[in-house]
A and B are shown apart, each in its own frame.
Chain A
Amino acid sequence: MSIYAKKGTLSFPFLRLTSKSAPTAGFLSPEGGAAVTIRADGSDKNKVLITSILFCGLSHILYLKQYVKGILFALIEVIAIINIPKFVKALHGLITLGSPQPDVSIKLRDNSIFMLIDGVMALAVIFVFIAIYVISVKSALKEYKKFCDSKVFTSNRHTFSELTGKSFSLFALAPTVIMILFFVLVPLVFSALVAFTNYSAPDHIPPKNTVDWVGFQNFIDMFSGKTAWTSAFGKVALWTLAWGFLATFTCYFGGMLMAVVLHESKIKLKPVFRSIFILPYAVPSVISMLVWRNLMNGSFGTVNRTLIHLGIIKDVIPWLSDPWLAKFTCVLVNLWAGFPYFMLLVTGSMTAISRDIYEAAVVDGASKFQVFKSITLPLVIYQTTPLIIMSISHNINNFGAIFFVTGGGPTLADSTTTGAAGTDLLITWIYKLTINLLQYHYASVLAVLIFMVLAPFAIYNFRRTRAFKEGVE
Chain B
Amino acid sequence: MKKLLTVFMAILLTAAFITGCGSTSTPSAPTGSSPGTSSTSTQSQKPSDSAEKIELTVWESTGGPDEFIQKAGEEFTKLHPNITIKYVNVELGDSSGKIALDGPAGVGPDVFAAPHDKIGELVSGGHIEEVSNPDYVKQNALGACIQAVTYEGKIVGYPVSAETYALFYNKALISESEVPATWEGVVEFAKKFNSGDRYGFMMDVGNGYYTILFTTANGNRLFGPTGTDTTKTYLNTPDAVNGIKFFQSMKSILNVPAADLTTSICDEAFKAGKVAMYITGPWNIKPFKDAGIDFGVAPLPSLPGQSEPASSFSGTRTMFVSAYSNHPEEAAMFAEFLMSPEMQKLRFDITEALPATDIEVDSPYVRAFTKQLDYAFPMPSIPEMSNFWNAMNSASANIWDGADVQSELDACDRAILGN
0/1 interface trace, chain A 103-119, chain B, CB 8 Å (1 if under) = 00111000101000000
Chain-B contact segment, one of A80-88, A214-222, A295-303, A369-377: A295-303
Whether the Cβ atoms of B411 and A416 lie closer than 8 Å is yes
- Taking a contact as CB atoms under 8 Å apart, the answer to whether A206 and B20 are in contact is yes
State whether the Cβ of A93 lies closer than 8 Å to any Cβ in chain B.
no
Please, how many angstroms separate the alpha-carbon atoms of A111 and B259 in the complex?
A: 39
- In the bound complex, what is the Cα–Cα distance between A419 and B389 (angstroms)? 10
Q: Are A435 and B15 in contact (CB under 8 A)?
A: yes
- Select A447's contact among B5, B15, B260, B390, beta carbons within 8 Å: B5
A residues 408-428 with Cβ under 8 Å of B? 409-417, 419, 421, 427
Q: In the complex, which residues 123-177 of chain A have their Cβ closer than 8 Å to any Cβ of chain B?
A: none
Q: Is the CB of A436 within 8 A of B23?
A: no
Instruction: Name the B residues within 8 Å of A431 (CB-CB).
Output: 11
Of residues 372 through 413 on chain B, the ones whose CB sits less than 8 Å from some CB of chain A are 382-384, 386-387, 389-391, 393-395, 397-398, 401, 403, 408, 411-412
Supply 23 A–B pairs (Cβ within 8 Å), ascending by A. Answer: A106-B125, A190-B9, A200-B418, A201-B384, A201-B386, A201-B387, A201-B418, A205-B20, A206-B16, A208-B24, A300-B197, A321-B401, A397-B4, A411-B259, A411-B394, A412-B398, A414-B411, A415-B398, A416-B390, A416-B411, A416-B412, A434-B8, A443-B12
Residue of B whose beta carbon sits closest to that of A191: B9
Closest 8 CB pairs of A and B: A321-B257, A321-B259, A187-B9, A415-B394, A410-B259, A299-B256, A416-B394, A411-B397
Kindly state whether residue A362 has any CB partner on chain B within 8 Å.
no
Contact of A417 among B125, B258, B397, B414 (CB under 8 A): B414
> Contact between B257 and A438 (Cβ–Cβ < 8 Å)?
no
Instruction: State how many angstroms separate the Cβ of B181 from the closest Cβ of chain A.
Output: 28
Contact of B265 with A by CB under 8 A: yes
Q: Tell me the smallest distance from the CB of A254 to a CB of chain B, in Å.
A: 25
Question: A residues within 8 Å of B by Cβ?
Answer: 105-107, 111, 113, 183-184, 187-188, 190-191, 194, 200-203, 205-208, 294, 297-301, 318, 320-321, 326, 393, 397, 406, 409-417, 419, 421, 427, 430-432, 434-438, 440, 443-444, 447, 451, 454-455, 457-458
B8-A416 in contact (CB<8A):
no
With A298-B259, A326-B259, A447-B5 known as contacts, the answer to whether A202 contacts B386 (CB < 8 A) is: yes
Q: Counting CB contacts under 8 A, is B139 at the interface?
A: no
Q: Are B259 and A105 in contact (CB under 8 A)?
A: no
A188, A321, A437, A438: the one within 8 Å of B9 (CB): A188
Q: Which residue of B lies closest to A414 (CB)?
A: B411
B28 interface contact, C-beta 8 A: no
Seed contacts A419-B394, A434-B15; 6 additional CB < 8 Å A-B pairs: A106-B125, A184-B6, A202-B416, A300-B268, A406-B259, A417-B411
Given A106-B124, A321-B260, A413 and B403 contact (CB-CB distance below 8 Å): yes
CB-contact partner of B5 in A191, A205, A208, under 8 A: A191
Q: Which of A294, A326, A417, A421 has the most chain B CB within a 10 Å cutoff?
A: A417
Let me know if B415 is at the binding interface, CB within 8 A.
Answer: yes
Query: What are the residues of chain A within 8 A of B256 when measuring CB–CB?
Result: 298-300
Q: CA–CA, A455 to B5, complex, Å?
A: 11
A416 B387 Cβ-Cβ under 8 A? no
A437 & B386 in contact (Cβ 8 Å cutoff) = yes
- Tell me the minimal C-beta distance from B70 to chain A in angstroms: 32
The closest CB in chain B to the CB of A418 belongs to: B415
Contact yes or no, B386 A438, CB < 8 A: yes
CB distance from A184 to the nearest CB of B (A): 6
CB distance from B346 to the nearest CB of A (A): 37
Instruction: Report whether B5 and A451 are in contact in the complex, using a CB–CB cutoff of 8 Å.
Output: yes
Query: How long is the Cα–Cα vector from A301 to B261 in the complex, in angstroms?
Result: 11
A39 → chain B closest CB, angstroms: 50
How far is B389's CA from A117's CA once the two chains are assembled, in angstroms? 29
B23 touches A188 (CB 8 A): no
Is the CB–CB distance between A458 and B12 below 8 Å?
A: no
The reply to whether B269 and A410 form a contact with Cβ atoms under 8 Å apart is: no
Contacts of A397 in B (CB 8 A): 1, 4
A135 to B197, CA, bound (A): 77
Is B126 an interface residue, CB under 8 A from the partner? yes
Separation in Å of the A315 CB from the closest CB of chain B?
A: 11
List A contacts of B401 (CB < 8 A).
321, 410-411
Q: Decide if B411 touches A411 in the complex (CB within 8 Å).
A: no
Partner of B11, one of A106, A202, A208, A435: A435
In whole angstroms, how far apart are the Cα atoms of A411 and B418 in the complex? 20
Cβ-defined contact, A187 with B6, below 8 A? yes
Contacts of A190 in B (CB 8 A): 9
B265 and A107 form a contact (CB under 8 A): no
B336 contacts A by Cβ under 8 Å? no
**Cα–Cα distance between A454 and B2 once the two chains are bound (Å):** 10
Contact of A207 among B20, B260, B397 (CB under 8 A): B20
> Is the Cβ of B1 less than 8 Å from the Cβ of A454?
yes
Distance between B417 CB and nearest chain A CB, rounded to angstroms: 8
How far is B20's CA from A207's CA once the two chains are assembled, in angstroms? 6
Q: Which residues of A lie under 8 Å from residue B390 when comparing CB positions? A: 416, 419, 432, 436-437
Contacts of A301 in B (CB 8 A): 260
The residue in chain B whose Cβ has the minimal distance to the Cβ of A454 is B1
> Is B186 among interface residues, defined by CB-CB distance under 8 A?
no
Interface size bucket, B side? 35 or more
Interface Cβ pair total, 8 Å cutoff: 167
Name A447's closest neighbour in chain B (CB-CB).
B8
Q: Does B204 contact A (CB under 8 A)?
A: no
Name the residue on A nearest B412 (C-beta). Answer: A416
Asked if B397 and A410 sit within 8 Å, CB to CB, the answer is yes
Q: Mark B246-271, 1 if CB is under 8 A from A, else 0.
A: 00000000001111111011001100
Q: How far, in angstroms, from A188 to B3 measured CA to CA in the complex? A: 10
Please state if A188 and B2 are interface contacts (CB–CB under 8 Å).
yes
Whether the Cβ atoms of B23 and A300 lie closer than 8 Å is no
CB–CB A411/B12 < 8 A: no
**A208-B23 contact given A320-B260, A416-B408, A455-B1, CB 8 Å threshold:** yes
Q: Is the CB of B258 within 8 A of A410?
A: yes
A107: B residues at CB distance < 8 A: 100, 125
Q: Which residues of A contact B163 (CB under 8 A)?
A: none
Cβ of B242 within 8 Å of any chain A Cβ, yes or no, is no
Chain A CB within 8 A of B19 CB? yes
Q: Do residues A438 and B20 form an inter-chain contact, with CB atoms below 8 A?
A: no
Asked whether, in the complex, the Cβ of B20 is within 8 Å of the Cβ of A202, the reply is no
Partner of A416 from the list B2, B10, B269, B395 (CB cut-off 8 Å) is B395
B206 at the interface (CB under 8 A from A): yes
User: Quick check: A202 and B257 within 8 Å, CB to CB?
Assistant: no
Given A321-B401, A438-B19, residue A409 in contact with residue B259 (CB < 8 A): yes
Chain A residues with Cβ below 8 Å from B206 are: 409, 411
Q: Are B394 and A202 in contact (CB under 8 A)?
A: no
Closest chain B residue to A453, Cβ basis: B1
Tell me, yes or no, whether B57 is within 8 Å of chain A by CB.
Answer: no
Point out the residues of chain B lying under 8 angstroms from A430, CB to CB.
Answer: 8
User: Does B121 count as interface, using CB distance less than 8 angstroms?
Assistant: yes
Bound state CA distance, A154 and B394, in angstroms?
Answer: 73
Taking a contact as CB atoms under 8 Å apart, the answer to whether B269 and A300 are in contact is yes
Bound Cα distance A299, B198 (Å): 12
Query: Across the interface, do A297 and B386 meet the contact criterion of CB distance under 8 Å?
Result: no
The reply to whether B383 and A191 form a contact with Cβ atoms under 8 Å apart is: no
- In the assembled complex, B84 has its CB within 8 A of some CB on chain A: no
- Given A107-B125, A421-B394, A454-B1, CB of A411 within 8 Å of CB of B258: yes
Contacts of A409 in B (CB 8 A): 206, 259, 397
User: Considering the chains assembled together, what is the distance between the CA atoms of A293 and B254 in angstroms?
Assistant: 20
> In the complex, what residues of B have CB within 8 A of residue A113's CB?
16, 20
Q: Is the CB of B257 within 8 A of A188?
A: no
Chain A residues contacting B197 (CB-CB under 8 Å) are: 300
- A436, B11: Cβ atoms closer than 8 Å: no
- What 0/1 pattern do residues 11 to 41 of B give for CB contact below 8 A with A? 1110110011001110000000000000000
- Residues of B close to A434: CB separation below 8 A: 8, 11-12, 15
- Asked if A106 meets B121 with Cβ closer than 8 Å, knowing A202-B387, A298-B259, the reply is yes
Structural contact, A411 and B398, CB atoms closer than 8 A? yes
Chain A residues contacting B19 (CB-CB under 8 Å) are 201, 205, 438
Q: Select which of B6, B121, B259 is within 8 A of A188 by beta carbon.
A: B6
